[in-house]
Chain A
Amino acid sequence: MDMAVSDHMAAGNVGEGFSAVPADGRPLAIEARGLVKSFDGTRAVDGVDISVPEGAIYGILGPNGAGKTTTLRMLLGIIDPDEGVRRVFGHDRPHDIGRLIGYLPEERGLYPSMKCIEAIAFMGALRGLPLKEGRKRAVDLLERHGLGHATDRQIRQLSKGMAQTVQLLGTLVHEPRLVVLDEPFSGLDAINQGKLEMMIRALADDGVTVIFSTHVIHHAERLCEGVAIIAGGKVPYAGSVEAARDRIPAQVRLETRAREGAWLSALPAETRRNGDFFQFPLPESGIEPLLKGLIEGEAGILSLSIERAGLHDAFVAIAGEAAARALQADSEEANA
């Protein structure tokens, strides 16, 4: 994955106004600056900045109640921000380019008495696709996703997973250029989560921009080119996943034959002992001086590995322990 997403630290590091094109030259599908939304005097979203280049898979990562849904709703024009500006494909009013957008809300909803084919065609019609064409595409989409047998079945006759797939197909039937998915993995079993990941990748391969919210780090880490970490309505980080991970030094894991000796002084001060292993951040000076000290001090190196920090570690470092715990709890609750 390239480092295409324009890295920036939210609120403060971003200049006024919009940059039409990010550093890598790709035009932006979504650009938001200083989005603020309050409900009943409480700031649900507090100065969010996001830049998503066209064709990227972008995650909004945060625990429940962090402001993900409100942010997405503002980006889509369902609600207007109290402060700040947003642009979707350069338009201030997302409804003006509704044809280019597909949206799957967190609370899934379909008309129970509608047939699958009609439900998909109706969702397309909402985005400007003629009903006849919508029905034709619906048959094709259902067939391709293994639901050809359910074409004329009513939504109420489907399993939850099948209904969710139908809704997702309805989100895509008009072939949008931007797909916004609010917690798309929630409620899906592992197999369907895998299928959804494949669908998202396929969309990105076709040049579609996908932005989704999640409280499951693994999905963001596996899929996303860029992420916005959101906690308490603020975005302390928005940028590439790689850059987020790079914010945490790599961890060195060392196993030695010797238990004591002069070589211990070569280890950094942050070293933690974990059974037979020593663990510490990779020193800024690199691994070579450390290796030299260990060898000269006769530590007897049995194993040494350098592990790059994961997105979870980055999340902890960026959003704090409390937000990370909340994220973990939400994730476990969803899995349960």
Chain B
Amino acid sequence: MIDTAIRPRLSSMEAAWVIARRDFVAVLFSRAFLFFLLGPLFPVIVGGLAGSIGGEVQRDAVSFEVGVAMNPADTAKMVAAGERLAPQLPFALPVLQPVPEAAKDPAFDARAFMEARRGNYAAILTGSPQSPVLVGTEGQIARWQGPVSLIAGHALAAEPAAFPPVSADLVTTSAADERTTRVQTAQIAQMLLFLLTMLLAGMVLSNLVEEKANKIIEILAAAIPMDAVFMGKLFAMLGVSFVGITVWGLAGFALFGGAGEVITRMTGFDITNLPAPAVGWPLFVVLGVLYFAMAYLLLGALFLTIGSMATSVREVQTLSMPVTMLQLMVFFLAAYTIKQPGSGLEMAAMAFPLSSPFAMLARAAMEPQLWTHALALAWQALAVVGIVKAGSLLFRKRVMKSGGAGRDKRRKGGRLPA
């Protein structure tokens, strides 16, 4: 009867593998996974639409036009001077527009016109080029006072100023430029890491809720140690996440390959111009994958602990809210410390397990040292094991309290747990 060729127990790794293999296959070949893969499309579409509409609204709402209500000759001089200067100072100068109402009405009152909220001018320029008067709110006057003075000066000049061409001699980088631009890489990497973690870690939670709903958890707990169950689930979901990221990555690559220029034009952001991180792109990508794995495992382990203790989906949602908030807070902490290298706050962000992957990825973008990453990864792995151990302990202590019959009876008559 007894097959002696088989060892009396599975090792923790083997047990975790049995769970991981089942979960990975089950999730990957489920319809839910297809929807999950399509998931990021929705925020992209909504974000794109919102961005486009927002841009339109902003263009309509933010006016760069300054009305000119001088006598016709002065108005023409000012507009011509503005147009001459505009190519030299793009975005710095207002667009000067003659106010039609002023041309028709010699007694035009710019102040009353502005207060009546007529027109769409940032401010109205009256007086003369020798003595220009800017009518507008305090903020608009502060913004346009200097540029208007410059235009007026040019309008008064007898000869138009000559603008000698400036030759360019490019250097690839400078210390100041490097630091400033790498912050951008760090911020984008952190944001990407955060979004992926939040998007994917929720899967662990739903997986465990399903497990509880199917009531199979006790079979697992009886057969193998609970921490092996947790580990198996975590790594299965991590595997699924990598599949998801690979699919999204390939889709993104194909999208940029086909429509990169259009996207760059639409968004005004050229990903190919993103500054190289301090550790170099290849290592940065490797570290990014490792820190994603750690961030995912840390958050997943927390979610798993919560999910295992909850008795219903509603309870899971309620309990997971504080963890999500905590995750947001640690992300903000890590994001805040990017510009404070070497500060106590940055050290705290690197040491606290949940914020550590975010802070360290930013550091990889900013600083070239590698040993800190080895240390951080080891620390984060230790934290994952710690949380999983604590979670399984809690599970054994708090969850397996009663048989179904005992629970029924307690509801009916308040008897002891079975």
Interface residues of A (CB under 8 A from B): 39, 42-44, 64-70, 73, 76-80, 95-101, 103, 105-114, 122-123, 125-129, 174-175, 177, 182-183, 206-208, 215, 232-233, 330
Select which of B9, B215, B219 is within 8 A of A128 by beta carbon.
Answer: B9
Interface membership of B410, Cβ < 8 A: yes
Interface membership of B6, Cβ < 8 A: yes
Chain A's closest residue to B23 (CB) is: A111
Interface membership of B216, Cβ < 8 A: yes
A70 & B26 in contact (Cβ 8 Å cutoff): no
Interface membership of B225, Cβ < 8 A: yes
Interface residues of B (CB under 8 A from A): 1-3, 6-10, 14-15, 18, 22, 26, 30, 214-225, 396-397, 400-406, 408-410, 415-418
B405 & A175 in contact (Cβ 8 Å cutoff): no
Known: A68-B418, A69-B402, A80-B396. A126 touches B220 (CB 8 A): yes
The complex places the Cα of A206 from the Cα of B8 at a distance, in Å, of 19
B400 & A42 in contact (Cβ 8 Å cutoff): no
The complex places the Cα of A283 from the Cα of B67 at a distance, in Å, of 122
B203 to chain A, nearest CB (A): 16
Chain A's closest residue to B11 (CB) is: A128
Select which of A39, A65, A111, A125 is within 8 A of B26 by beta carbon.
Answer: A111
The complex places the Cα of A107 from the Cα of B407 at a distance, in Å, of 12
Prevailing SS type, chain A contact patch: loop
Known: A39-B417, A79-B400, A233-B416. A111 touches B216 (CB 8 A): yes
Name the A residues within 8 Å of B1 (CB-CB).
175, 177, 206-208
A313 to chain B, nearest CB (A): 24
Chain B's closest residue to A114 (CB) is: B26
B402 & A95 in contact (Cβ 8 Å cutoff): no
A64 & B402 in contact (Cβ 8 Å cutoff): no
The complex places the Cα of A68 from the Cα of B402 at a distance, in Å, of 10
22 example contacts (A-B, Cβ-Cβ < 8 A) are as follows A44-B402, A64-B405, A64-B408, A65-B405, A65-B418, A68-B418, A69-B403, A69-B406, A70-B418, A73-B400, A78-B396, A79-B400, A95-B225, A99-B6, A100-B8, A105-B222, A106-B403, A108-B215, A111-B26, A113-B30, A123-B223, A233-B416
Select which of B2, B218, B220, B415 is within 8 A of A107 by beta carbon.
Answer: B218
A77 to chain B, nearest CB (A): 8
The complex places the Cα of A183 from the Cα of B400 at a distance, in Å, of 16
B418 & A125 in contact (Cβ 8 Å cutoff): no
A64 & B418 in contact (Cβ 8 Å cutoff): yes
Chain A's closest residue to B2 (CB) is: A177
The complex places the Cα of A183 from the Cα of B408 at a distance, in Å, of 14
B168 to chain A, nearest CB (A): 63
Q: Known A-B contacts: A44-B401, A103-B219. Give 20 more (CB < 8 A).
A: A44-B416, A76-B222, A79-B396, A79-B397, A79-B400, A97-B9, A98-B9, A105-B222, A106-B403, A109-B214, A109-B219, A110-B214, A111-B214, A113-B30, A123-B219, A126-B15, A128-B8, A129-B6, A233-B416, A330-B405
A232 & B2 in contact (Cβ 8 Å cutoff): no
B417 & A97 in contact (Cβ 8 Å cutoff): no
Select which of A65, A106, A129 is within 8 A of B415 by beta carbon.
Answer: A65
B417 & A112 in contact (Cβ 8 Å cutoff): no
Most B C-beta atoms less than 10 A away, residue of A109, A111, A207, A233:
A109
The complex places the Cα of A68 from the Cα of B22 at a distance, in Å, of 31
The complex places the Cα of A206 from the Cα of B6 at a distance, in Å, of 19
Most A C-beta atoms less than 10 A away, residue of B3, B15, B404:
B404
